[in-house]
Amino acid sequence: MDILPDKEYLLKFANAKMPFGKYAGWRLIDLPEPYVVWFRQKGFPKGQLGEMLSLLYEVKVNGLEYLFDPFRQQRR
């Protein structure tokens, strides 16, 4: 059984930007945790953005942000 994550989706997720609001233009992975928690309490938007924000919430509350450090370093 192959349970490896979809590499293309992870790249898309790592490069996705917030399209609106206070943090418009920020990469999702760089959004502050309190902002993501607020979204979870209010309800994530529909569609792919909501799915990505939900995934981001899980990443942040479980302390897995370090997994995206290589993506941050590639942009420097």
Higher pLDDT, 7 or 75: 7
- pLDDT tens readout for residues 1-60: 455 568 888 889 999 999 999 999 999 999 999 999 999 999 999 999 999 999 999 999
For residue 26, the model assigns a pLDDT of 96
Higher pLDDT, 42 or 72: 42
Going by pLDDT thresholds of 50, 70 and 90, the confidence category of residue 74 is low
**What DSSP letter does each residue of the chain carry, written as one string?**
------HHHHHHHHH-B--SSTTTTSBGGGS-HHHHHHHHHH-PPSHHHHHHHHHHHHHHHTT-GGGGHHHHHHT-
Q: Domain limits of the chain?
A: 7-20+27-74
Higher pLDDT, 69 or 37: 37
